[in-house]
Structures are given as structure tokens and as C-alpha cells.
Amino acid sequence: MPRPTGPPIGLALTRTAKAVSRAFDDALAAAGGSLPAWLIMISLKTRSLGNQRELAEAIGIRGATLTHHLNTMEADGLVIRRRDPANRRIHQVELTDRGETLFRQLAAAASTHDQRLRTGFSDEEIATLEQLLRRLQHNVSGEAHDRASRSDA
Amino acid sequence: MPRPTGPPIGLALTRTAKAVSRAFDDALAAAGGSLPAWLIMISLKTRSLGNQRELAEAIGIRGATLTHHLNTMEADGLVIRRRDPANRRIHQVELTDRGETLFRQLAAAASTHDQRLRTGFSDEEIATLEQLLRRLQHNVSGEAHDRASRSDA
DNA sequence: AAATAAACATTAGATATCTAATAGTCAGGT
DNA sequence: ACCTGACTATTAGATATCTAATGTTTATTT
């Protein structure tokens, strides 16, 4: 139990995340997009998500908020929603050609931002950081009261 | 092409920070507080901040948002604002006795949360994480621009 | 000294996010 | 078959945050 812990680790995490997110959002805005739209698109491209609830979960927002963003993106012609014929409760979300184009533009901006973020970091340090972040997330994810897991791949 | 970088490191950072912040906010709410109020109070206690602008900066919110929270907290009797006699543009913010009491309660909740967050982490790993976070923040903080004209897509 | 600019906080209005309630669809039990 | 409950997404209303504009005070310039 208690060690003479320093400043809360969550505090450093929150401050860093806010600063990084803000800089990233600025970079995406300059490329004609936004952070939520980017998160939605990259999740659509890189993950196999069955429905909007999982998509919202992957992004870290609530379903209602996702609906809001999808409305905007659909109005902008970036995505289309269509009912899954096999389960008409589900809306399948797909990128349009226009969405694909914007995705590539944002991917370029994101890559530049990511290079900037990685300045001075070795590959090993990045891997360490990713592993530490995964373990933090695991520690607050519900049942994680027992012991830290070794879920690095 | 620089390096065959994996998934954007900012993405992992954002996802983890959201999950951790949400769990922390829940813990603070159960203790009768909120995340913004906690951030304000701990910043008041542990930092020497000259004015509200610096306070907002330390927390990672805008001045207008800080004003909003201070209004609520002042209405709840947690803080008082008084004009600095030496520079009447400045509002000095101080915790009231009631604010001190709530601060201790939230500090207990925060400590519990922090212990949970540190589950499975050695002191050395925590130090490593803090250092990596600091470096990430530095990389997006203004002058830290590589200005590498690598136009990768 | 007066005028102008700068710094600080607040206010006003817009946008994003959340929770709770609602509507549509499917699965299971009787 | 039909009711009940669970699941999915949306809508409605509340809260939080942001940017831009404003008011007040201080600093600078002429």
C-alpha cells in the first residue's frame, strides 16, 4: 500500500494529453478537418467495428456524441450510414470517396504531427510508452483491481 | 520516408487519457467534487500562481472556462476572489475553510485513485512514464519544431 | 498630462459533450 | 403467436468548453 508517491500520475497524463490533443487539433484544422472526424475515420479504416457503439467506444466518446459527429460528416458527404440488412438495428458506417480523400489529407497532417511528437524518441522509448499507457488504461478498466497484465504484443 | 512508424502515438495517449480521466472524474464525483474543481484546488495548493491566466494555463483550460468554474466554486463557498491591491487587474483566488475541507476529501479520493492507477508499476516505471510525458509535452510546446520538410503522406 | 497600447478578468454567443428519455428492432419465454 | 426484455441508434435537454468582444486597470508613448 501506500508509498510516498509523488504528484498524481493521472495529473501529468491529463496535462500532457490536453496539450498534445490541442496541438493535434490545430494541425488537423489547418488540413481542413477536426480531431473527432479524424478519430472516426481512422477507426473506420483500421478497426473492424460492428456497430456505432463499438466505434464510439474505440474513440472514447458516448454514442450520442458520435451520432452528432456522424450527422455533420454525413451532411458534409464524408460518410454514409446504411442499415445492416441482417440486423436492422445496426447502422453500418462507410467512408465515401470524398471521405477517403479527406482521410488521406488528414493522414498526411497526422503523420507530420506524429513525427513532431516523436522528436527525440527512440523506437524503444515509443514502445515503452505504449506499453505503459496500455497498462494505465487496464488499471482503470473495470475489473482491473487484481494485478497488472502483460498484454503487450 | 522517416521511419515505418506504428500507430500514432498521440492516439494511444488520447485514448488512455480519456479512459483515466473518466474513471478519475467518477471517483471525485463520488467524493462530492469534480475533476475541474480538483484541478483548480490542487493547483492553488501546490503552485505559486500569480493570476487566473496562469492558473488556467496550469490546468489546461481557457481563461473564460476558469471563470465559469470559479463562479460555481465561489457560489458553493469553496473559494473567494479578491482584488490584488498592488495590481487591481488581478483577482487573487484563495481556498476558504470549506474549500480546504473539500480539498482534503478529494485528496483522499485522488490518492486512492492514484494507487489504483499505479497498480503493477514500479517506482522506476512511474518515473520513466513521467519523463516520457514531459518530453511529449515539450515536443508540441511552441518552439520545439523540427521543421523537417519531410513531405510524407 | 493625454492618448494609446497592453494585461487581466469577465461576459456573450457558439460548439461539443454528456445523461436521460425515446423509437425501432431483435431474441426468448409463455 | 405474443408479450417482455435487451440492444442499437437517435433525439432532447443540460453542462462544459471554446473564441471573440467588452470593461477595467496599468504601462507606454508622445
What's residue A4's pLDDT? Answer: 63
Half-sphere exposure of A60 (CA within 13 A, CB side): 18
Written as nine digits, the cell of B70 is 470559479
Q: A50: domain CATH number?
A: 1.10.10.10
Domain that holds residue B89: 23-138
**Mean per-residue pLDDT for B125-134?**
95
Q: What is the spatial distance, in angstroms and rounded to an integer, between the CA atom of A76 and the C1' atom of D28?
A: 49
Mutate to test the interface with B, among A43, A104, A117 (most CBs of B within 10 A): A117
Q: Alpha carbon A148 to chain centroid distance?
A: 23
Interchain CB contacts (distance < 8 Å): A and B: 187
In a domain, A7, yes or no: no
In a domain, A139, yes or no: no
Q: What is the pLDDT of residues B47-99, one digit of tens each?
A: 778 889 999 998 889 999 999 999 999 999 999 999 999 999 999 999 999 99
Using alpha carbons only, what angle is made at residue A9 by residues A6 and A14, rounded to the nearest 5 degrees?
140
In a domain, B109, yes or no: yes
Q: What is the pLDDT of residues A64-109, one digit of tens each?
A: 999 999 999 999 999 999 999 999 999 999 999 999 999 999 999 9
**Dist. CA B11–CA A42, nearest whole Å:** 10
A83 burial type by CB count under 10 A (0-12 exposed, 13-18 middle, 19+ buried): exposed
- B113, B27 contact by CB (below 8 A): yes
In a domain, B56, yes or no: yes
**Dist. CA A129–CA B134, nearest whole Å:** 12
With cut-offs at 50, 70 and 90, classify the pLDDT of residue A38: very high
Q: Work out the mean pLDDT of chain B and round it to a whole number.
A: 86
In a domain, A145, yes or no: no
- A21, A35 contact by CB (below 8 A): yes
**Dist. CA A27–CA A53, nearest whole Å:** 28
- B140 to A117: CB separation less than 8 angstroms, yes or no: yes
Name which of A56-60, B46-50, B98-102 the model is least confident about: B46-50
What's residue A2's pLDDT? Answer: 59
